[in-house]
Amino acid sequence: MTDYPALHGPSRPGWRCIACDAPWPCPTRKHQLRELCQGNLPALVRYLSAYLSDAQQEISDATTADLTDRFLGWCARPPDPTAVQEHPPTQQLKTVAPAATQTPPEGRTT
Ligand SMILES: [Zn+2]
């Protein structure tokens, strides 16, 4: 798996996104992870389980159930349609109007 150069990574021990300050994993990071794992749910869960393990030791004001849902619960859910795209949308495709059929001037009457 390749990774994104600009990560929405966790700040620790607060476990908020270093890029957008949302609770980590933030919607953008979730979107990125989904893309990275390409539907490989076990790989995604394995990856996040390592973070969950660390978070359980560093976040004291959340229950294990809450943390498990926060880190792993979203994996099997449908993607969040409000997730922010990291990259700006590519240039909008310009609708190219079919070139008007021009009849070349021919057969000038002289
Ligand atoms: Zn973020």
pLDDT by residue (tens digit) across 16-50?
Answer: 999 999 999 999 999 999 999 998 999 999 999 99
Q: Of 1-10, 60-69, 97-106, where does mean pLDDT reach its minimum?
A: 97-106
Instruction: Flag whether 96 is in a domain.
Output: no
Q: How many Å lie between the centroid of ligand 1 and the Cα of residue 77?
A: 19
102 φ/ψ sector (left φ>0, alpha ψ -120 to 50, else beta):
beta
Q: How many Å lie between the centroid of ligand 1 and the Cα of residue 9?
A: 7
Residue ranges with CB less than 5 Å from ion ligand 1: 8, 17, 19-20, 26, 28
Give how many domains the chain has, as a whole number: 1
Instruction: Flag whether 84 is in a domain.
Output: no
Query: Is 30:8 a contact under the CB 8 Å cutoff?
Result: no
More confident residue, 13 or 103: 13
Q: What contacts 9, CB < 8 A, 6 or more positions away?
A: 17, 18, 19, 24, 29
Q: How many Å lie between the centroid of ligand 1 and the Cα of residue 47?
A: 17
How far apart (Å, rounded) are the C-alpha atoms in residues 54 and 13? 9
Instruction: Flag whether 63 is in a domain.
Output: yes
Instruction: Report if pTM > 0.75.
Output: no
Domain ranges, residue 66: 10-76
Mean pLDDT of 95-102: 54
Percent of the chain with pLDDT over 90: 61
